[in-house]
Amino acid sequence: MSDKKNEDFVVKMPESSNGFGEKDPFMGNPPRSRVQRESALQQFYARIDNSPGASITAYCLASISMTVVNKYVVSGSDWNLPFFYLAIQSIVCIVTIMICKQLGMIKTLAPFDTTKAKKWFPISLLLVGMIYTGAKALQYLSVPVYTIFKNLTIIVIAYGEVLWFGGSVTPMALLSFGLMVLSSVFAAWADIQAAIHGVGRSAEASAAISTLNAGYAWMGMNVFCSASFVLGMRKVIKKMNFKDWDTMFYNNALSIPVLIVCSLIAEDWSVENLAKNFPEENRNALYIGMIYSGLAAIFISYCSAWCIRATSSTTYSMVGALNKLPIALSGLIFFDAPVTFGSVSAIFIGFVSGLVFAWAKVRQTVSKSILPTTQVTSASSQSNRDAANS
């Protein structure tokens, strides 16, 4: 009897272990399939996460879409609620960060500190000035002209570093600065010529030139505010020991009350004005654009860090320089910016100036690695890294 039981037991075990029984396939195979699927997904995500091409593409798409969406929202003829728009951006950004923290996707965000907030508040005021003047400049200027003139910020930051941080400017960097100025001159000349010859009546031409002058004035203030923000943040950020998410959180959280108060005081909240700013035919598109612009700020910050991690800071600098071209071209494609010899020349010169500046940074990086005892700081290179962290 015992031998019979043992034989039965021995006979049944191979059937179950080989999957011929009824219970084992139901109990055992699906978990193995799930493990295989999860392993395949993890390998796929790991390949994407470490892919230089994917990180570069994501960074370019994020920055291009951010500029295009901002231009779309503020380009309405009756648009006059920039503070409200920027407040929505910051609110969406903060809500997204908090949701990601609750889900465990963000693990380096420190709890809110009132003392740190008081010290960081002046930097947030500079940020408000930067984004407000940028939105106003983008309202009056075309995307290519805005992108080209934005390069002038690099020059101001570079010489700000020379004055306050002991930075230096190499001859190749000076060459890139000269090309940036030249591209801005070409862009302004092309814009003015298009305004004069693009409309038939002198009164309309005068109004068009007046609009451009307002855009250039806002652009000049944006260059000053952007340089002040980057230089001020560089001075304070090391003392605060902020990480990437801390910087973004405090920047947006502290700017929200300022933007809301400015909107309530300076902007018209009447029903008629709201109807003008949000016409019924594209109201939903404007809502979606405003929400996306807040998300895009997070996308750009994450994609910047991802691109630097998956490639290198040098490659990231080159990508930033190359990215100016598709951003400028997007204005020609989506917003009917005038395509003239002057505008195309300005875009090309601006593109070349970005490449020259990036190459100057590459050469300084190489010289640093060869001569580690030489204290040479690339003009505005540290500021660009700080700006990427913001």
Please give the pLDDT value at position 36.
Answer: 66
Coil, helix or strand for 378?
A: strand
**Alpha-helical regions (H) of the chain:** 2-17, 23-49, 52-74, 82-102, 114-140, 143-150, 152-164, 171-198, 202-240, 244-266, 271-277, 283-310, 313-322, 324-334, 341-370, 381-389
d(CA 302, CA 54): 13
Coil, helix or strand for 335?
A: coil
Q: How far, in whole angstroms, is CA 316 from its chain's centroid?
A: 13
Please give the pLDDT value at position 368.
Answer: 60
The pLDDT of residue 28 is above 60: no
* Per-residue pLDDT tens digits for 100-154: 888 888 877 888 888 888 888 998 899 899 989 998 998 888 888 888 888 888 8
- For the chain, what are the domain ranges? 80-389
Look up tokens 């003239």; give the residue: 340
Q: How many residues comprise the chain?
A: 390
Lowest mean pLDDT among 62-66, 150-154, 345-349, 382-386: 382-386
Coil, helix or strand for 344?
A: helix
Task: Please state whether the predicted TM-score (pTM) of the whole model is above 0.85.
Answer: no
Please give the pLDDT value at position 23.
Answer: 47
* Per-residue pLDDT tens digits for 329-362: 777 777 766 777 777 888 888 888 888 887 877 7
Q: How far, in whole angstroms, is CA 71 from its chain's centroid?
A: 14
Please give the pLDDT value at position 260.
Answer: 94
d(CA 159, CA 247): 24
- Band of pLDDT at residue 257, cut at 50, 70 and 90: very high
Q: Tell me what the mean pLDDT of segment 59-69 comes to.
A: 85
d(CA 103, CA 105): 6
The pLDDT of residue 192 is above 50: yes
The pLDDT of residue 11 is above 70: no
